[in-house]
Structure 1
Amino acid sequence: MTINDITNIIEELAPLSYAEDFDNVGLLVGDVSTEVTGVLVTLDTLENVVDEAIAKKCNLIVSFHPIIFSGLKKLTGKTYVERVVIKAIKNDIAIYTNHTALDNARHGVNNKICEVLGLTNTKILIPQKQTLKKLTTFVPVDHVEEVKVAIFKAGAGKIGNYSNCSFSTEGQGTYLANEKANPTKGTIGEIHTEKEVLLTCVFNRNDERAIIKDLISSHPYEEVAYDIHTLDNTNPYIGMGMVGELEKEVTEIEFFKDLKVKMKAHTIRHSKFSKKPIRKIAVLGGSGSFAIGAAKAAGVDVFITADLKYHQFYEAENQLVLADIGHFETEQFTKNLLVDYLTKKIPNFAVHLSESITNPINYF
């Protein structure tokens, strides 16, 4: 399998189009056509991780965090980032990252936290906007089903737990073919009227290229008329953070004891306890202070995240409890998620869970 084959599989779980604009995702080092000898999955790519990849004969590192975040202007080995990139290049090791693409994926980082905590009835905390698009096209009546099958297979017409969703209206289309045309129906130089169906359906923006390709290949006309519009609808299946519920209410002390054990947290920084029972929980892996307002609006009892600043704890305002368990701690199970996913998709391929310690924070 090539690097391209592996990354295509990963992007079925977390399409790169899901990533935030500020992020740097995708293949950071390497050639997509390279044959892969083994995959090492890690949270961060440091020099010790590259050494581990060499030892395990893996020439592709799949890293949640990007080692190259802002632009590199030189490679002199003066910074840890430069040293990692130099070592990877010298040893023909590719580096791929999906970061916020996996953060925003329905079955990504935050879903994994919910799974570890045993939360049910989960849903996205902050759904993404403008990830849904609408296709409108015009198809001769006798070719509608053929076109539907093609575009549905490519990903069109999926709305939540439903697929093959569309709407059709019959009407009449007209066209006049010039002398350079090769019309499927009608005669060159004469206005032709054809019974057509206006076919419309919704799709995720990451499927656009495949849908348009299959629309054109399945459509009988030489020139295919279609429109695509970006929708303002929020997408409840893509976005940051997640909300879920415990099976039963527990006290704050009980919940925090359980949280510390399940998330392997050395310490929990938190706002004032509200002395209310805990049932509804919001989680957001990594730096999540921007989502405090969304957690309040969701009516949760506790919001679990990381990297909260001193004054941000005041924002709890006795409406919920803010729990900062640490950046590494919120994302530590991400590499397990990716290893499990890849192992199921390519069971006879060498996929390794990195054993290297990459948490930059030590605890006294």
Structure 2
Amino acid sequence: MSRVRDVMNVMEQFAPSALKEDFDNVGLILGDADEEVRGVLVTLDITEKVIDEAIANNCNMVVSHHPIMLSGLKKITGKNDMERVVLKSIKNNIAIYASHTNADSVMDGVSGKMCDKLGLKKRKILSPIKESLVKLVVFVPVDHAENVRKAIFKAGAGVIGEYGSCSFSQEGQGTFRASENTNPFVGERGELHFEKEVRIETILPSYLKGKVVNEMVNAHPYEEVAYDIYPLKNDWEKAGIGMIGELDEACDEIDFLKEVKNIFNVGCVRHTQLLNKKVKKVAVCGGSGSFLLSKAIAEKADVFITGDFKYHQFFDAEERIVIADIGHFESEQFTKEVFFELLTKKFSNFAVRLSLENTNPVNYL
């Protein structure tokens, strides 16, 4: 039997809520985490029709990219779609979970799926998260160093790019004097003790600090564990907004834009002046990505694909890059596939369904 919290845990491991933007509203928005899951409906947006679809398919949990109640609700009377979503979900015991800007911030998330569809290689984050890493230093008796290392690695520390279990160790001598109120692992109360210890250093995302420290303390033999945590200025290269990569082969701009239109099934591609050069390096950002234009230019992207560019922002390309605005919905539409693939791999005791509702509010003639 799987519960709502089990689905939540899988989603959190994929895209931790700690990676969300400050304005966002993610995680379990409505429902009981202990409720048994009968079925999950995966969607990009939550509308009343999506809730009706969940009810019709016996799904008592909806996993969505876009959350509800970003600006909050003061009354719930059913006068608009959002209020009807809340009322109908409560009446039918449907849990609602959202993974929004946190799903934008992971390598295999929203922008990563855009890269998949475009066949981009040599990918990296366009705008890595800054100052979100910390360094952990702990001092451990020599014979227990390996156990402590394993514990902190298992908790998520020690990942640098594509490498895991990363640490540095140095042997030295530690000293302490245990008071009469202690039960020291080594040494005697009231006496200065010298112990051969290992200094272990590793790196971790700051949001994992509590978990890593807890596991470290549990694996450590001392009553009082000596450790330090230092903030780092490093960029977190594996987390952030937008991505950039390369095509296998360079192609003409107009051919590339036609391919983009076809892949994303776009009503129209709004783009800046073509520069009459080959397209090789492509930057992408699902949703509203105009704020990343300078990053895309700095990375020497030939084309930047995103949505929601305003009229005057197109001038900022200044013939240095081709902006291709394919629309907010269109750029994020494949996010449903990301969540669907993730959940179907993890759960086999209930149905996971892709919503068939087209929630795009923009139409084209």
Deviation at 1:223, TM superposition (A): 1.2
Which residue number corresponds to residue 345 of structure 1? Answer: 346
Distance, in Å, in 1 between the alignment partners of 2:262 and 2:157 is 43
Paired letter, 1:214: E
Deviation at 1:348, TM superposition (A): 4.1
Which residue number corresponds to residue 299 of structure 2? Answer: 298
Q: Show structure 2 runs of 5+ residues with no match.
A: none
Residues 141-198 of structure 1, C-alpha deviation per residue, up to 9 Å, x if partnerless? 1211111111112222111121221111222222222222111111122222211111
Distance, in Å, in 2 between the alignment partners of 1:74 and 1:12 is 34
Given the two structures, how large is their TM-score scaled by the length of structure 2? 0.97
Which residue number corresponds to residue 322 of structure 2? Answer: 321
Pair 1:131 & 2:132 matched: yes
Deviation at 1:12, TM superposition (A): 1.6
Distance, in Å, in 2 between the alignment partners of 1:277 and 1:349 is 48
Distance, in Å, in 2 between the alignment partners of 1:349 and 1:118 is 32
Pair 1:89 & 2:90 matched: yes
Which residue number corresponds to residue 276 of structure 2? Answer: 275
Pair 1:171 & 2:172 matched: yes
Pair 1:249 & 2:260 matched: no
Alignment of 1:110-149 (within 5 A): 110-149=111-150
Which residue number corresponds to residue 150 of structure 1? Answer: 151
SS at match of 1:144: helix
Which 10-residue stretch deviates more, 156-165 or 238-247? 156-165
Paired letter, 1:359: N
Paired letter, 2:204: F
Q: Show structure 1 runs of 5+ residues with no match.
A: none
SS at match of 2:21: coil
Alignment of 1:51-62 (within 5 A): 51-62=52-63
Alignment of 1:1-364 (within 5 A): 1-364=2-365
Runs (4+) of structure 1 moved beyond 6 Å? none
SS at match of 2:245: strand
Please tell me whether the aligned partners of residues 37 and 350 of structure 2 are also in contact (alpha carbons under 8 angstroms): no
Alignment size in residue pairs: 364
Please tell me whether the aligned partners of residues 177 and 189 of structure 2 are also in contact (alpha carbons under 8 angstroms): yes
Given the two structures, how large is their TM-score scaled by the length of structure 1? 0.97
Distance, in Å, in 2 between the alignment partners of 1:165 and 1:67 is 39
Please tell me whether the aligned partners of residues 286 and 305 of structure 1 are also in contact (alpha carbons under 8 angstroms): yes
Paired letter, 1:193: F
Distance, in Å, in 1 between the alignment partners of 2:56 and 2:28 is 22
**RMSD of the alignment, in Å?**
1.2
Distance, in Å, in 1 between the alignment partners of 2:350 and 2:230 is 41
Residues 171-230 of structure 1, C-alpha deviation per residue, up to 9 Å, x if partnerless? 222222222211111112222221111111011234323211210111000111211122
Distance, in Å, in 2 between the alignment partners of 1:228 and 1:355 is 48
Distance, in Å, in 1 between the alignment partners of 2:294 and 2:51 is 39
Please tell me whether the aligned partners of residues 343 and 349 of structure 1 are also in contact (alpha carbons under 8 angstroms): no
Paired letter, 2:70: F
Please tell me whether the aligned partners of residues 307 and 324 of structure 1 are also in contact (alpha carbons under 8 angstroms): yes
Please tell me whether the aligned partners of residues 264 and 329 of structure 1 are also in contact (alpha carbons under 8 angstroms): yes
Distance, in Å, in 1 between the alignment partners of 2:26 and 2:231 is 23
Distance, in Å, in 2 between the alignment partners of 1:11 and 1:73 is 28
Please tell me whether the aligned partners of residues 20 and 101 of structure 1 are also in contact (alpha carbons under 8 angstroms): yes
Paired letter, 1:96: Y
Which 10-residue stretch deviates more, 23-32 or 158-167? 158-167
Please tell me whether the aligned partners of residues 21 and 101 of structure 2 are also in contact (alpha carbons under 8 angstroms): yes
Please tell me whether the aligned partners of residues 39 and 58 of structure 2 are also in contact (alpha carbons under 8 angstroms): yes
Paired letter, 1:298: E
Please tell me whether the aligned partners of residues 46 and 66 of structure 2 are also in contact (alpha carbons under 8 angstroms): yes
Deviation at 1:236, TM superposition (A): 1.1
Which 10-residue stretch deviates more, 92-101 or 210-219? 210-219
Paired letter, 1:274: L
Distance, in Å, in 2 between the alignment partners of 1:156 and 1:238 is 15
Distance, in Å, in 2 between the alignment partners of 1:263 and 1:142 is 57
Please tell me whether the aligned partners of residues 287 and 328 of structure 2 are also in contact (alpha carbons under 8 angstroms): yes
Distance, in Å, in 2 between the alignment partners of 1:249 and 1:134 is 41
Query: Percent sequence identity over matched residues?
Result: 53
Distance, in Å, in 1 between the alignment partners of 2:231 and 2:169 is 19
Deviation at 1:319, TM superposition (A): 0.3
Distance, in Å, in 1 between the alignment partners of 2:63 and 2:112 is 19
Distance, in Å, in 2 between the alignment partners of 1:145 and 1:254 is 55
